[in-house]
């Protein structure tokens, strides 16, 4: 059984650019949630995908969007990057409503 | 409004001592309370979790104590070891509302040898 994987590990972008982050869910899991973790803070919920449909969203603007694919992997897209978007982006997978297992994260730096 | 408040922000404990981290929550509808451990450069790892129908859950050296009336829960790490040095996050969620997690702000634990 493989765990949750994320790519890339690190990323540096310029303000105004667009970025796509990827997440492969744990085997057997059908739900992926994305979180933003600013330095020294707890993770904040961005949105969740369940069986390819968005299943809930936190207080993030529409320039944060996502996708889930038939194999339950997922992408997080952020348009018009701002300096405050610099953070660790975490995805977590679960089977339906049960325990969420986090990936190692993608460290995004916006300059 | 911060849904989950965590304290202390940092904690120093001697090896073999007991580490205690506290959390308080606002929403009485929360029905799942996990604790996560995070090492630098890594994602949070599920440590232990509790549902509100029990007051205590123990797994090895880790114990969650839950006080529903006070809307508080805490993590106790018995016989703390230097390898336990990490940041700990409490969280709360509604299992039947897509299990969106509300995280505390974290506690950085340093266990001195």
Is pLDDT at A1 greater than 60 in this prediction? no
Residue with tokens 């799942």: B32
Q: Is B99 an interface residue toward A (CB < 8 Å)?
A: yes
CB contacts, 8 Å: A23 with chain B? none
Inter-chain contact B41–A43, Cβ cutoff 8 Å?
no
Q: Which residue of A has its CA nearest to B9?
A: A40
- The Cα–Cα gap between A87 and A90 comes to 9
The pLDDT, as a whole number, for residue A97 is 67
- The Cα–Cα gap between A32 and A23 comes to 8
- The Cα–Cα gap between A73 and A31 comes to 9
- Going A107 to B2 to B8 to B9, the CA torsion angle's sign is positive
Q: What is the pLDDT of residues B44-91, one digit of tens each?
A: 999 999 998 999 999 999 999 999 999 999 999 999 999 999 999 999
Q: Which residue has the higher pLDDT, A85 or A56?
A: A85
Q: What is the pLDDT of residues A8-54, one digit of tens each?
A: 999 999 999 999 999 999 888 889 999 999 988 999 999 999 889 99
Phi/psi region, residue B79 (left: phi>0; alpha: psi -120 to 50; beta: rest), is left
The pLDDT, as a whole number, for residue A95 is 85
Q: Which residue has the higher pLDDT, A77 or A40?
A: A77
DSSP A25: P
CB contacts, 8 Å: B96 with chain A? 97
What is the C-alpha end-to-end distance of chain A, expressed in Å? Answer: 38
CB contacts, 8 Å: A40 with chain B? 106
Is pLDDT at A74 greater than 90 in this prediction? yes
- Closest Cβ–Cβ partner in A33, A50, A102 for B45: A102
């Amino acid at each position: 059984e493989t765990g949750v994987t994320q790519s890339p590990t690190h990323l540096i972008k310029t303000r105004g650019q667009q970025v796509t982050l990827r997440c492969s869910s744990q085997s057997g899991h059908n739900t992926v949630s994305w979180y933003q973790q600013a330095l020294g803070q707890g993770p904040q919920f961005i949105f969740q995908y369940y069986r390819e449909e968005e299943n809930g969203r936190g207080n993030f603007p529409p320039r944060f969007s996502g996708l889930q694919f038939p194999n339950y992997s997922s992408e997080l897209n952020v348009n018009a990057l701002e300096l405050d978007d610099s953070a660790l982006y975490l995805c977590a997978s679960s089977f339906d409503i049960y325990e969420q297992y986090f990936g190692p994260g993608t460290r995004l730096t916006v300059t | 409004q911060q849904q989950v408040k965590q304290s202390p922000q940092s904690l120093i404990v001697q090896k073999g001592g007991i580490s205690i981290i506290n959390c308080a929550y606002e929403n009485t509808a929360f029905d799942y309370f996990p604790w996560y451990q995070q090492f630098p450069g890594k994602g949070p790892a599920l440590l232990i979790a509790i549902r509100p129908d029990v007051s205590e859950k123990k797994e090895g050296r880790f114990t969650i104590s839950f006080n529903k009336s006070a809307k508080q829960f805490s993590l106790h790490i018995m016989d703390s070891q230097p390898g336990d040095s990490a940041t700990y996050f409490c969280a709360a969620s509604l299992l039947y509302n897509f299990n969106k997690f509300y995280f505390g702000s974290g506690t950085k634990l340093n266990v001195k040898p």
